[in-house]
């Protein structure tokens, strides 16, 4: 789960407004040993001009830990197929129903359920983030997806302070937020353990 930074109902949100010093240099990329299949179900009817930078942001975050993301949008795919993670961009009606049934606070931007390999993005809430931040919508969506996919792949699902797994959305910087080294290894270990992801030919780390 990730929360909007502009809300002030949680003490941990205070830390989210601090500017994080991030390197302007791209980190040395690891060999992309793994391909992660991510199916996007666009109930929100988000336009492609928003989805393209969203996918690009996710691509860069996972490339940095040696994982290639292969995108799918085929609704005929079995949502419970363990080889595919599903991210649903919810419509307003779906959001209203989900937050009512699950009593979700209004500063929550997305949720995920590791057991069913599924994440739900509250699209209309994320749309409002750029109005109060340095982020464009594609980056905001991308950060939310990276975070929730992280929850689906990191076994203990813990949040961390400054990585992509921080509990609140950083609205002060627009760069790609990355996983820590430990989180990256944890994600790759999950993929190895499941044995359901496409493993590409090993390439040497440059």
- List interacting residues with Zn ion (CB under 5 A): 1-2
Contact 155, 182 (CB under 8 A): no
Instruction: For 11, list phi and psi in degrees, rounded to 5.
Output: -60, -35
Report strand pairing: 108-113 vs 67-72: unpaired
- The residues that bridge with 85 in the sheet, in sequence order, are 38
User: Using alpha carbons only, what angle is made at residue 156 by residues 29 and 165, rounded to the nearest 5 degrees?
Assistant: 50
What's the closest the beta carbon of residue 152 comes to Zn ion, in angstroms? Answer: 11
C-beta of 1 vs 99, nearer to Zn ion: 1
Q: Which is nearer to Zn ion, 151 or 188 (CB)?
A: 151
State the residue number with the nearest CB to Zn ion. 1
Task: Kindly state the smallest distance separating residue 159's Cβ from Zn ion, in Å.
Answer: 5
Residue 66 CB, nearest approach to Zn ion (Å): 22
In the complex, least distance from residue 154 CB atom to Zn ion, rounded to whole angstroms? 10
Q: Based on CB atoms, which residue is closest to Zn ion, 94 or 108?
A: 108
Which lies closer to Zn ion via its Cβ, residue 44 or residue 169?
Answer: 169
Backbone angles phi, psi at 67, to 5 degrees: -120, 125
Burial letters for 62-97: b for 16+ Cβ neighbours within 10 Å, e otherwise? bbbbbbebeeeeeeeeeeeeeebbbbbbbeeebbee
Smallest gap from residue 86 Cβ to Zn ion (A): 17
**Of the two residues 33 and 186, which places its CB atom closer to Zn ion in the complex?**
186
Pick the closest to residue 148 from 175, 126, 173 (CA basis): 126
């Amino acid at each position: 789960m990730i929360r909007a930074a502009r809300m002030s109902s949680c003490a941990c949100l205070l830390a989210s407004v601090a500017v994080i010093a991030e390197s302007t240099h791209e980190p040395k990329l690891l060999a992309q040993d793994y391909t992660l299949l991510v199916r996007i179900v666009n109930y929100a009817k988000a336009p492609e001009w928003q989805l393209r930078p969203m996918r690009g942001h996710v691509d860069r975050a996972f490339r940095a830990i040696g994982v290639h993301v292969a995108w799918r949008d085929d609704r005929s795919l079995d949502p419970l197929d363990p080889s595919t993670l599903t991210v649903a961009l919810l419509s307003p009606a779906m959001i209203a129903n989900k937050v009512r049934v699950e009593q979700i606070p209004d500063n929550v931007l997305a949720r995920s359920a590791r057991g069913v390999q599924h994440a739900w993005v509250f699209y209309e809430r994320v749309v409002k983030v750029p109005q109060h931040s340095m982020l464009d919508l594609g980056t905001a969506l991308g950060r939310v997806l990276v975070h929730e996919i992280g929850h689906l792949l990191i076994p203990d699902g813990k949040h961390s302070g400054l990585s992509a797994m921080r509990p609140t959305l950083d609205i002060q910087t627009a760069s790609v937020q990355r996983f820590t080294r430990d989180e990256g290894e944890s994600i790759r270990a999950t993929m190895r353990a499941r044995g359901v992801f496409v493993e590409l030919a090993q390439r040497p780390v440059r």
